[in-house]
Structure 1
């Protein structure tokens, strides 16, 4: 049943959800104003070439107007001298400042010890995270590393332990908690107007056309199917959603999980979709779990991979039921399916909250702004830390063990 205007005012207050968003905009504006007069944070980038995730996501997010005044890229390191030189020239032209070009293993060591580098950003394949992250920590540098922050719980825990010993910060690329949808849902729940959260259900899938998991895999992504690659379907896709889920609703008290591999054999295809040899999948492509949160709420999550994108097939849905109403999060566009990347629409008691378009760059920009504000004001930055990554990894291990043993695990 559609809520009346008075009901909506009761849930949100006289100005509705716009009041919450206006508050966030004022805070962002204040933060930016304070930062523009501060020294720029100097970044050394490991893995910034002219293609790949760092090129299409991390670098552009650092060029967002509210972020750009607080950061400058002073060095980068890639695998070869040629690619490093090309990348340094390419990004130097875009930023208007010179960038040092390092390359190879020696280049990583030189970059992390460079006295002009304040923050080391590591954006390479997860199996290769360990050495550069630990080298940067040993050099006393703060680090940004992409989720999953290493190829295993053991590596992530080692990053946490070494960072604590050296007194440095480690940010992790779990940007879903910074999306406009996440902020809106968290604010509505925190307001208390809907009462206690009683239950929640999240479902989603990665399409077959993405060529990551399922019956066909792009040749550039074959490595994700190797044992202990650190980027299995559960670790990457479910891991990102779990961080957002628990950031908003709180931690699990118990978990019961089931996993299945619907596509045990995958055909490798090249950039022209020409079939190559097949590989055996080493991890599940379907994971379902249910549990009780510390708050007492009953929750369930179901994530799948390899489905064709067909009309009417729901790519993502998150419902939260509270004592006095409900919240629904769904894609803002038909092709969207991941909260940490795409815009999502939020409905409270059936009424849509106007969030405006944000998307991946805005989610990442919020991380950079939080870190810069912390460095300039000594306030605690509200970004995902290595401690958050360890907690998320431990939850994934619990889910894996529960699915393997067929037992409920109490945390």
Structure 2
């Protein structure tokens, strides 16, 4: 609650702005129609499930859950409750990528025959920052592959189209 109150103050929000200490408290508020779930992957399930059970739509950042079983359970509950669970990937909002997509789809450069993607995640090294330590535990579902690489690949697929084939080289 302290960090929520600090965020309200730091962002100049009205003093009437509500803050919640637990996902269920947010989900139980009848004035809320949609809940945005943006945080650590291993916390998405708890936050989203409370909201889905309460009949709220949920917008969740990628990845949806820490594993396929949780994602399927969330999807099943959303269907049974008649609400939507939306997975957000930021690339679709990038003016740069939208321009690339427009050029490629418009045929201005002809058919895309190949592309090369090179990535250096930078912040994952011999000693990661403390706030990223959770990514070292596979059970949490959030790591360089499930977060960084897949978001980057989504940007490539979104702007250039789906792959017909691929080859890869990974170096450590």
TM-score (norm 1): 0.39
| 1:157 positional shift | 2.6
Match of 1:137 in 2: 52
Which string of whole-angstrom CA distances, capped at 9 and with x for unpartnered residues, describes residues 110-159 of structure 1? Answer: 21120111221122311121111011111111112222121112222322
Q: Give the secondary structure class of the aligned counterpart of 1:215.
A: coil
Q: Which structure dedicates a bigger proportion of its chain to helix?
A: 2
Match of 1:100 in 2: 18
Q: 1:226 is matched with which residue: 137, 140, 158?
A: 137
The answer to whether residue 119 in structure 2 is matched with residue 204 in structure 1 is yes
Counterpart CA distance in 1 for 2:4 and 2:95 is: 35
The answer to whether residue 8 in structure 2 is matched with residue 83 in structure 1 is no
Match of 1:169 in 2: 84
Counterpart CA distance in 2 for 1:302 and 1:158 is: 34
Q: Which structure dedicates a bigger proportion of its chain to strand?
A: 1
Match of 2:148 in 1: 237
The runs of at least 4 consecutive aligned structure 1 residues that moved more than 6 Å come to none
Counterpart CA distance in 1 for 2:96 and 2:2 is: 41
Conserved? CA contact 2:100–2:160, under 8 Å: no
| 1:199 positional shift | 1.6
User: How many residues of Structure 1 are paired with residues of Structure 2 in the alignment?
Assistant: 172
Structure 1 residues without counterparts, runs of 5 or longer: 1-80, 253-292, 306-411
Match of 2:95 in 1: 180
Q: CA RMSD in A?
A: 2.3
Which string of whole-angstrom CA distances, capped at 9 and with x for unpartnered residues, describes residues 233-270 of structure 1? Answer: 11111110111122233334xxxxxxxxxxxxxxxxxx
| 1:195 positional shift | 2.5
Q: Structure 1 pair 147/218, CA: closer, same or farther in 2 (3 Å)? A: same
TM-score (norm 2): 0.85
Q: Structure 1 pair 118/247, CA: closer, same or farther in 2 (3 Å)? A: same
